[in-house]
């Protein structure tokens, strides 16, 4: 069949990336001649500019953008068409955020933190439409929205954080208090896993971030009665099962 390529990693998880490469899908960093080649659009999505360029280069495009991210694209475009200045709350360099911003005709304002709100710029906006990167921290996003509402006459806020992320963020507020040890599973390249780890660590110092079961240390579990486990959005089920099994055998050899 035709060779399959993708721009960057399909998700931010090394194990998934390995499986994808094993299946013969090759990672590229820039678009070249694409005749007779398939380009896979990753879960995080991409900008319209990249999509147009891929088609112009001759690639057959297969869009594997997460449906929830697709919804954010549509909301952002609708807001722009209705005269709102679009503000994206998220990590500026994250592929998903760049993909959302890349749907628009006018430049989106991207805000990654409360302390980085461009007050002068937002005070000049009459009406703003706000969307959020799907794996952002809800508490942080709401604090940013409050500041926007204080400075912009009309703010239409769409909470576009995806359901699995909301559930995990709700759990991570109680789990570290209910367990002696917390194990957070996910790639060090995963922004949402980092957020889960940071929240957990702020509530329980015995919070450990692992990429696989190989990184679990006996000493973490030796004096603990119970362990709580959570994982980032792109962590494979197989990795989670392996970690659970390792914890069981370490605690009950």
Ordered by where they begin, the domains of the chain are 4-63 (3.40.50.11270), 67-157 (3.40.1010.20), 163-251 (3.40.1010.20)
pLDDT tens across 51-109, in order? 999 999 999 999 999 999 999 999 999 999 999 999 999 999 999 999 999 999 999 99
Q: State the average pLDDT over residues 192-209.
A: 95
Eight-state DSSP code of residue 86? E
- Confidence grade of residue 10 (pLDDT, cut at 50, 70, 90): confident
Alpha helices in 57-179 (DSSP H): 67-81, 95-101, 119-123, 138-151, 163-178
pLDDT score for 221: 93
Catalytic residues: 96
pLDDT score for 253: 63
Q: State the average pLDDT over residues 9-27.
A: 89
- Per mean pLDDT, which of 36-45, 70-79, 193-202, 216-225 is the most reliable? 70-79
Strands 26-28 and 4-7: parallel
For residues 120 and 107, give the distance between their C-alpha atoms in angstroms, rounded to a whole number: 16
Average pLDDT for the chain: 94
Q: Strand order of the sheet with strand 207-210?
A: 207-210, 181-185, 227-231
């Amino acid at each position: 069949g035709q060779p399959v390529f993708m721009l960057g990693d399909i998700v931010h998880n090394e194990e998934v990336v390995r499986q994808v490469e094993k299946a013969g899908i090759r990672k590229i960093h820039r678009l070249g001649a694409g005749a007779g080649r398939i380009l896979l659009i990753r879960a995080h999505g991409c900008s319209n500019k990249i999509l147009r360029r891929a088609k112009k280069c001759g690639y057959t495009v297969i869009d594997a953008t997460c449906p929830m991210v697709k919804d954010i694209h549509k909301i952002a475009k609708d807001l722009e068409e209705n005269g709102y200045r679009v503000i994206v709350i998220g990590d500026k360099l994250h592929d998903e955020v760049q993909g959302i911003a890349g749907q628009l005709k006018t430049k989106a304002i991207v805000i990654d933190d409360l302390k980085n709100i461009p007050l002068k710029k937002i005070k000049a906006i009459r009406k703003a439409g706000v969307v959020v990167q799907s794996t952002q921290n809800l508490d942080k996003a709401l604090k940013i929205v409050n500041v926007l509402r204080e400075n912009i006459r009309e703010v239409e806020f769409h909470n576009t954080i995806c359901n699995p992320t909301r559930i995990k963020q709700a759990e991570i507020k109680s789990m570290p208090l209910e367990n002696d040890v917390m194990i957070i599973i996910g790639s060090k390249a995963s922004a949402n896993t980092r957020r889960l780890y940071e929240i957990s660590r702020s509530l329980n110092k015995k919070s450990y971030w692992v990429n696989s079961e190989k990184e679990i240390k006996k000493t973490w579990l030796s004096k603990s009665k119970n362990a709580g486990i959570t994982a980032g959005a792109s962590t494979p089920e197989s990795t989670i099962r392996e970690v659970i099994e390792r914890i069981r055998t370490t605690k009950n050899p």
